[in-house]
Amino acid sequence: MILLFYANSYATWSIIAVDRKTGEIGIAGASCTFDVSGIASIEPGKGAIVVQAASNYFARMEGVSLLENNASIQEILDAMMADRFDPERQQYGVILLKDGTSPLVYSGTEIKDWNGEMIDDDFAVMGNILLGEQVVKKAFEAFNQNRDKSLAERLVIALKAGEESGGDARCGNQYARSAFIMIYQPVHGAILKLAVQGIEKGKKPAVGLLNEQFKLWYKTEE
């Protein structure tokens, strides 16, 4: 039964972000696995959580419960790092919409190959089993350098920058087999989710396909 709740989203890069002016909360991610979107949760008006690498469902739900109940960001991360969640195999990311907080990321000691993160006041980029640190670095720079654009656009731009820097170490020139974006928009009172999954290995890059989906959706929003 427990295996059903492990997404096993190894070799993943993702971005968690908030826009404290608009109240938007967003997550984007990509991986060489069949479906990476199960790593993420958004709690409207509160924040977002990512649990990747071994991607423990129970750790994420523990974090979401605390997020709903206005726990501090450190309390949320500490709870997800309980021994029963096998934290050294996880990569955790937590962000709050609340003013005066910065994201927290933890990368377990048992994650293989290159892994790491870069953090700013209102977003963080993290990844594991990537081609190298340039994937996280370029995604971070792309998000930060496009602050004139909407949060949704910046998430997609950052995800694409990670792809162009090598993406998942196992996917070669495909970079990823699955990708997603989730964003809560208070103006609509809903969470938008776009996802590409199950792309056969060696076929079209998932991030590129997601980008096409996003462009079609974004035209309807203009």
Tokens of 207: 């991030």
- First-to-last C-alpha distance (Å) of the chain: 45
Q: Which of 174, 177, 180 is nearest to 159 (CA)?
A: 180
Distance CA 221, CA 189 (A): 15
pLDDT single digits (tens) 1-43: 233 334 454 558 899 999 999 999 999 999 888 889 899 999 9
CA distances from 222 to 23, 180, 215 (A): 19, 21, 11
The DSSP 8-state label assigned to residue 197 in this structure reads -
Mean pLDDT computed over 78-93:
96
Q: What is the pLDDT of residue 7?
A: 45
Assess contact for 144 and 137: CB atoms under 8 A. Answer: no
Burial label for 70, CB within 10 Å (0-12, 13-18, 19+), is: exposed
Q: Where are the domains of the chain?
A: 2-217
Q: What is the pLDDT of residue 131?
A: 76
pLDDT single digits (tens) 56-82: 999 999 999 999 999 999 999 999 999
pLDDT single digits (tens) 162-215: 888 765 556 667 778 899 999 999 999 999 999 999 888 888 888 989 999 999
Distance CA 17, CA 35 (A): 21
Q: What is the pLDDT of residue 218?
A: 82
pTM of the predicted structure, to 2 decimals? 0.91
The CATH number of the domain covering residues in 2-217:
3.60.20.10
Q: Which of 112, 57, 48, 101 is nearest to 80 (CA)?
A: 57
Q: What is the pLDDT of residue 147?
A: 96
pLDDT single digits (tens) 112-135: 778 999 999 999 999 988 878 998
Q: What is the pLDDT of residue 168?
A: 58
Residue with the two structure tokens 């924040």 = 47
Amino acid sitting at position 213: Q
Q: Which of 1, 65, 52, 77 is nearest to 168 (CA)?
A: 52
Q: What is the pLDDT of residue 10?
A: 52
Q: What is the pLDDT of residue 222?
A: 60
CB atoms within 10 A of CB 134: 16
Q: What is the pLDDT of residue 5?
A: 38
Q: What is the pLDDT of residue 84?
A: 96
